[in-house]
Amino acid sequence: MADRALPAERGGGLLVYLDQNYASRIAKHLLALPGQEAFGEVWEALLALGDRVVAPPSPFHALELHGGYLLPTFRRIFARVGRGWWVRPWPDVVRRQVERGGLAREDFLWRRGRWEEPADLAPLWGLLDLELEGDFYHRAAAARAWARGRLGLARAAEAAPFFQLLGRLVAFRSLERSREERASDLLDVVMAATVAPYVDVLATDRYLREALVRVGAGVRAWSGRSGEVRALARWLRARAG
């Protein structure tokens, strides 16, 4: 790697992504709010790993926080476990991934992130409003082509892991008509498509965890259900030991 301080590729340093759901619950534990004990176990397990783990903040966190009351605690959390690294803005990750024709953590992490610079989802506004038809594979292909076109990339870019996973997640969501839509759905699918190809662990909410498993994202994903939170803590402690 060009930067020897980067966490190693899979099999070396552990790269963990705590999405807004997990990071907020850890923050509430640190603020001594009740009902967050399981998330405290994850926090202690991350600290026990020391410099063998990096859990970076991202522009997605900055977007969802909107500067709110948890921001000072988020700063504390990621100052400890982010080790100075940030996830790059997602369009930059995508561009680098396409240009490289593969994955490298130097295309995913950098040291120039700021809490004042949230993710910009405007390039993909309308993605979840597409009238997708056909089976899962046709829907995924249509979503992938639409997103690639909005980013002004050549058709060959659709082979990149970001577009492959984004298409599958959008197709999965389009077929789950019984689920009530949420304002954060677009952020969730763009975050997951950006992050999942690079990290060893993605800690997220129940629905997104299920979607990642069902579409074969190939990342270890844990939900915020108490049993899974404690299972993640045990898994991390095993790596610390």
User: Would you say residue 72 has pLDDT above 50?
Assistant: yes
The whole-number pLDDT of residue 109 equals: 98
* Average pLDDT over every residue of 55-83: 96
Residue 67: pLDDT band by 50, 70, 90 thresholds? confident
Its pTM stands at 0.94
Count of C-beta atoms within a 10 Å radius of residue 180: 4
Residue 66: pLDDT band by 50, 70, 90 thresholds? confident
